[in-house]
């Protein structure tokens, strides 16, 4: 319906601009803009020039609002209203639904990452740093990138190129997460005190897809927090393996070393901590 093409029952078009704006929880300026763009056209009283809307146009208003929230431009919406067939409108709406579902997936992925990070941080407040303990952890999914040169992977500087590969891999839309991220050391190397990294991992609370991500083998784990103000991290490694052996537990995963946050205290002292865990058989 164009600006000069109004036709219909005048009694249906009885809502003033103020009344219609209040019903739709919008502004007069928005309604004026939609009128000027020829996408929501009121009846104009020829005697006084006042604009009046119909209750049936409330659905039209919220259709326009929904399409704008879905990323449609005013030009696209105008084309839908004036030129689209039912089939082309269906294709357009389905395309927008797909876009929003993809966006929702990405948002859920970020929410999941933050939930896991906050869970780890919350546990840090209640558990003693540097002391291993048996714990029940969430059902975590792992995305993994193997180290290309395991023999020389002693420090993060040694695996910079592998980290780059991993971050590219986990930043794609289909990947679960690239935060929180860490490294692994095989349990066999841990026992031999060969502290070399064998993979880079990212964790997520979203279900594993068994293609890019795998579930952890057990939610029962020996965990240990390590801060930079504590003993050398290799001592924490030894404490973990000693705890497993002393309690006659059976490890069923690598050691996961997850770096969560690097923070500064009020005294501007640099602080970090790592969340260390090894899954053990139930």
Q: What is the pLDDT of residues 123-145, one digit of tens each?
A: 766 656 788 999 999 999 999 99
Q: Which fold has domain 114-280?
A: Multidrug-efflux Transporter 1 Regulator Bmrr; Chain A (3.20.80)
What residue has token string 């991992």? 201
Residues 28 and 18 sit within 8 Å (Cβ to Cβ): yes
Mean pLDDT score across all residues of the chain: 86
Q: Torsion angle of alpha carbons 280, 219, 109, 145, nearest 10°?
A: 10
Q: In the chain, which residues fall in CATH 1.10.1660.10?
A: 13-83
Mean pLDDT of 55-69: 92
Give pTM, 2 decimals. 0.70
pLDDT for residue 242: 97
What does the H/E/C string look like for 157-195? HHHHHHHHHHHHHHCCCCCCCCCCEEEEECHHHHHCCCC
Q: Report, at the CATH architecture level, how domain 13-83 is classified.
A: Orthogonal Bundle (1.10)
């Amino acid at each position: 319906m164009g600006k000069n093409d109004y036709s219909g029952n005048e009694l249906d078009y009885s809502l003033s601009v103020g009344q219609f704006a209040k019903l739709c929880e919008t502004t007069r300026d928005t309604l004026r803009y939609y009128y000027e763009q020829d996408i929501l056209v009121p009846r104009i009283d020829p005697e006084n020039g006042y604009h009046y809307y119909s209750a049936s146009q409330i659905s039209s208003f919220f259709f326009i609002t929904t399409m704008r929230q879905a990323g449609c431009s005013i030009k696209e919406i105008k084309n839908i209203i004036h030129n689209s067939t039912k089939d082309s409108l269906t294709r357009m709406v389905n395309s927008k639904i797909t876009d929003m579902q993809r966006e929702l997936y990405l948002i859920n992925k970020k929410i999941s990452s933050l939930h896991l990070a906050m869970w780890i941080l919350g546990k840090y407040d209640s558990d003693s740093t540097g002391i291993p303990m048996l714990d029940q952890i969430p059902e975590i999914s792992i995305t993994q990138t193997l180290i290309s040169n395991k023999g020389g992977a002693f420090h993060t500087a040694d695996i910079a190129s592998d980290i780059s590969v991993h971050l590219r891999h986990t930043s794609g839309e289909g990947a679960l997460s690239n935060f929180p991220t860490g490294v692994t050391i095989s349990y066999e190397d841990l026992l031999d005190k060969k502290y070399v990294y064998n993979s880079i991992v990212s964790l997520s609370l979203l279900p594993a897809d068994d293609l890019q991500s795998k579930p952890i083998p057990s939610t029962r784990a020996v965990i240990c927090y390590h801060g930079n103000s504590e003993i050398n991290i290799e001592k924490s490694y030894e404490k973990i393996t000693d705890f497993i052996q002393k309690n006659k537990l059976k490890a069923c995963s690598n050691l996961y070393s997850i770096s969560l946050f690097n923070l500064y205290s009020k005294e501007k002292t640099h602080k970090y901590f790592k969340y260390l865990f090894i899954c053990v058989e139930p």
